[in-house]
Each structure stands twice: as C-alpha cells, then as structure tokens.
Structure 1
Amino acid sequence: MSLLHDYWGLLLIIGLMIGLLFPPMLMKGGKPVKQLTPDEANQLIREQDAIVLDVRNGGEIADGRVPHALNIPLGTLEARLFELEAYRHKPIIVNCQLGGRSLSACQILKNHGFTDIYNLKGGIAAWLQSNLPVHR
C-alpha cells in the first residue's frame, strides 16, 4: 500500500491542525494580524497615541469600553470606513467582546489599505480582567 493510503487519517488531522492554528496566515498579504495583550495595547495607546476601534454592538458597549474608543459595530464597518480615514496612518487597536469579531474587522481594515492594525487578544473581557480603565 502507498504511504498516502496508509496514513490518510494522520495527514487529515495534520491538515486540520494547520488550518486551525494558522488562519491569520491566510489573510491578505500572508501576514497575520498582530495580536496584543491588554497591557501591550494600553502601552501602545499611551506611547503612540493608538486609536481603539470597538466593533461591538450598542448593548455590549453599555458594559464598558476602553476609554476614548470609537464604536463602529462590525456589521456597519465597511459602510463607515470614511470615519476612520483620519486615522489611516496611526496604529489602530480593534476590540470586541472576546477577540473574534475584531479579527474580522482587522481583515476589513487591511483590505482597505490600513496597515498598522492590531487585534486586542481576548477582547474587552481580557481588558477588564487586567483591571485596566473602562468608561461605562
């Protein structure tokens, strides 16, 4: 029997693991979105005047947000990109509740020519857990 025939199950598992572990590599340009911990994000805000883009929906914002964050829900982001034009050449940290929607938002921004984009790893939940300031 051939190697492929004998080890098809193992090869399938390896392929699935690669697909799950490296999805950011499939993004435009092959470069993964930079992931920041809450402390790293807070440092970037302080040192480089980074903008925070919160892509959660209105009801979620009531639970608290990163101070001075701009709120553009993910579902309206492409239609409202003009609101971010002034920040095209500034670092933009994108957050949502847990980090999934913000990763999608990062991809939208990259596809529209924004280059200094970061995803807040763990979202606002991680920010709150790190005891960083929030506006309610």
Structure 2
Amino acid sequence: MSAHNVTVLNPDQSNVIEIDAEVASAWLEAEEAILLDVREQEELEMEWIPGATPMPLSKFDAKVVSDTVVANTIVVVICFTGRRSIDAAERLIEFGFKEVYSVKDGLLAWNAAGLESVDTTAMLI
C-alpha cells in the first residue's frame, strides 16, 4: 500500500483521519480504496471525479452504504471543503467500517493539486 501521509485531528473533535488529496488519488488509481463523493446531486452535476462513487450525504445511511461498499474496504470520503466528508466518515465508523479517511480540504484541495476531475460547467455554452 502507498505510504500514509495522514493528519490526525484533535481526538476530542473527531476520530477521523484526514489524508492529502494526492494520497487519496493514488489509492483510487491503484484500486486500494473506494472514494465516496458525498456532495449533493447539484454539485456532482457541476464537477465530478472519475472513479469516485457518488453518495450524497442527504441520502447517506447504513443500508445505502452497505449496498455500495464491501466490508473491509478502505474508504476515503470527499466533499467540497472537507467538513461534510468528516461527518460522513464519522458515520462510516459508526456503521462499523474500520479504515476510513477524509480528504483534507476536499475537492478544493483535489483541484489545487491538479488532480483529475471533470468540470461540466466548462462544457456549458
């Protein structure tokens, strides 16, 4: 597995570990993890990450997750800024997933790193 460049948040605030966008991208490309994009449908229609699994936070529950994510899979969660992905990652831990990460600063960091995404707003005339 790729080296873990992780930042542990204040344990009083969260049990979620944040990783850099570059690490998440490498894991996704190597098929070492699943990337759950918890942004809402309107956001996903504007820009999406190839290979990511869309799972809007508003529809996020144990059944939807268990129908989508295989147990014992490394799960990385992303949103626009990183806040909703931490919320989703906390829920995944509550659902019993053991290896869960959040992309630090979300899609903003993903784009700042120059990682692949599809901006559909650029396609509009």
Q: TM-score range by the shorter chain?
A: 0.7 to 0.9
Residue in structure 2 matching 1:82, options 66, 74, 77: 66
Deviation of the 1:41 alpha carbon: 1.0
The 1-side partners of 2:19 and 2:13 are apart by: 19
The 2-side partners of 1:58 and 1:35 are apart by: 24
CA RMSD between the two structures = 1.8
Matched, 1:94 2:77: yes
Structure with higher Rg: it is: 1
Q: Gaps spanning 5+ residues in structure 1: where?
A: 1-20
Q: Gaps spanning 5+ residues in structure 2: where?
A: 1-8, 121-125
Residue in structure 1 matching 2:36, options 53, 67, 77: 53
Bigger fraction of residues in strand = 2
Q: Which residue does 1:125 correspond to in 2?
A: 108
Q: Is the 8 A contact 1:54 1:71 kept in 2?
A: yes
Residue in structure 2 matching 1:72, options 55, 63, 70: 55
Q: Identity rate of aligned residues, in percent?
A: 27
What is the aligned length? 110
Normalized against structure 2, the TM-score is what? 0.78
Q: Which residue does 1:106 correspond to in 2?
A: 89
Deviation of the 1:72 alpha carbon: 1.1
Q: Is the 8 A contact 2:28 2:51 kept in 1?
A: no
Q: Which residue does 1:41 correspond to in 2?
A: 24
